Structure 1
Amino acid sequence: MPRQVDHVSRRRLIAEAVCHLADERGLEGVTLRDVAAQAQVSMGAVQRCFRTKEEMLVFALGYIGERIGERVQARLVRSPAQSAGTALGHAATEISLLGEEHRAEARVWLAFVAQAAVSEALAKTLGANYAALQEAFTRLISEAGEGADGVMPLDPQREARTLLALADGLTTHVLIGHLTPQEAHDVLHAHLGGLWERPTAGRASSRS
């Protein structure tokens, strides 16, 4: 058991090194040798954990997703009595990586997204992450609608896809300086508020 725990810890240490280097120079500049130096382990230790660079990058991408997921879960646990709508807002805010404290993580995440366009393995991992987030958003949107006198978007899954794409886009716009974090936050929460307004307007017109 101690060997297994050490192996898991070392893989996480290496993932942290990958993220640090990706933030500095992008994924193209990440080599196994540089990762070993950053993690302060031998090349052999890196190669025992990961057979190839791609396998190492896939693990690092999953590691970033886990960290974001853990933060989302921590916010939900801190306020277990919050509504589904509030929980949705917290989750979308965390995933958007809008805070200054998450700026480095946002740069690394987008570096992985760009690399996934030419890496089938990374694209598959990223797709699985997005699918899980979409499922969670769909559930929260449905629950929030049920708590608002039965009023909800006509298609919670479509709205979940839209919200996920918006969150990703806002990450980019803040990172390149097109929007400030506060402006992006306002856009995100205006969209969330609109989820419950649009169906209500539709009902009103159908009754008139």
Structure 2
Amino acid sequence: FLHSNLPTKINVSEISISKLEYYSTHIIEPCTHRIKSFRLSNPCIDPCLLLFPITKYLTQLTTLILNKIEANHIEPIVNRLSYLPVLSSLTIISINKLVDRNNIYYKLFRLSKLKYCQISIESLQCPKSLLDSTNEFSTIEYLVINNEISIDQLITILSHVPQLRRLSIGNLTKSKYNRKEEDEINLNHLTNVSLKLERIFFDEFENLMVNYFRQVQVLSIETQ
């Protein structure tokens, strides 16, 4: 295993704290340059302590899954994702509320190779202005947001993902702000949309369908 040149998948989910140091030193660190997939689903393990020492050596990492992590670890990790040159699939699921609401979306959407992004971060907010420039776009093609997000926040996000093909929203709520005019958004590749709606007025939902999802071929809707 240690002397192989084959791509490696790391799953730290089932490892006990007592064995973590040995596993990190003797299994993870010697093969960092071959790790293609890294999964952590243990809330007792500090992902920063595990990932920070090896981040710049994860040159082949394409998939990162951080499940059941403390929300206070999210921003420090996101700040270092730009060191992963081929990261194309990212999943972040927290177990509690995010206190510092800095622009996480902004940092995720600037990752140049990202194609799949799934997030569930309670209390995460999207600012009115997501990226520095209206001409700055994300490469994301499949977006899953399972934390609460309002319609106006979703529209802001949609304006920066022109390559989007599939969209899934786990808790879509009514707009927080009144939009004075509709944005010009081209989502020509978007064909599949799944929405779970909560406390949304019909005229808002109709506007979303007509102005942003008119080209969608498969639409799934649930109400809460």
Task: Calculate the TM-score normalised by the size of structure 1.
Answer: 0.26
Task: Choose 1 or 2 for highest CA Rg.
Answer: 1
Q: Which has the higher strand share?
A: 2
Larger % of helix: which? 1
With structure 2 as the length reference, what TM-score do the two structures score? 0.25
